[in-house]
Structure 1
Amino acid sequence: MSNGTPNNDWASKVTFIRLRDIIEIVPISRATVYRLAKNGQFPKPIRLGSSSLWVEAEVQAWLSERMANR
């Protein structure tokens, strides 16, 4: 049932991370992150103004998939 206010529950559950965080988690270069994302082999960033942010769960899922396929 809606009371006229938007439901923003999803926003409180999404965690965004920056490129520097990705590079700490996955030891690949900045250029490799962007190249893989461009080729559809890594989650694409969300652009907010001049910032690029990634959904943390998508990056974790990508890493988990790589670990499972080793």
Structure 2
Amino acid sequence: MQHQDDLLLRLPEVLARIPVSRATWYAGVKSGRYPKPVSLGPRCVAWKASDIQQLVSQGVSDALPVH
């Protein structure tokens, strides 16, 4: 059984935890606001569950983009 920290989350799973749009998420990754993905293949990426959990535990307001 995998430990939760070792799990990888695909984008739909990430966006279910962080309520932002796909475009906002990728803009945040590019700017460094959100964690970088792990490459699983040429066109396939995922994020470490531990990184996403850390972002969620900081609070959703901190994770949302500033307007």
TM interval, short-chain normalised: 0.7 to 0.9
Question: Letter of the aligned partner of 1:61 in structure 2?
Answer: Q
- Structure 2 unpaired stretches of 5+: 63-67
Pick 1 or 2: higher relative contact order, CA cutoff 8 A, min separation 6: 2
Q: Does 1:41 align with 2:41?
A: no
- Structure 2 partner of 1:20: 12
SS of 2:58's partner is helix
Q: Deviations over 1:7-39 (max 9, x none)?
A: xxxxx4410000000111111111111111111
- Structure 1 unpaired stretches of 5+: 1-11
Aligned length: 58
For normalisation by structure 1, the TM-score amounts to 0.71
Determine the C-alpha separation between the residues in 1 that align with 2:16 and 2:46.
Answer: 15
Aligned partners of 2:37 and 2:45 also within 8 Å: yes
For normalisation by structure 2, the TM-score amounts to 0.74
**Cα RMSD for the two superposed structures:** 1.8
Aligned partners of 2:18 and 2:60 also within 8 Å: no
- Structure 2 partner of 1:5: none
If you compute each CA radius of gyration, which structure gives the higher value, 1 or 2? 1
Determine the C-alpha separation between the residues in 2 that align with 1:60 and 1:38.
Answer: 19
Residue from 42, 52, 58 that aligns with 2:51: 58
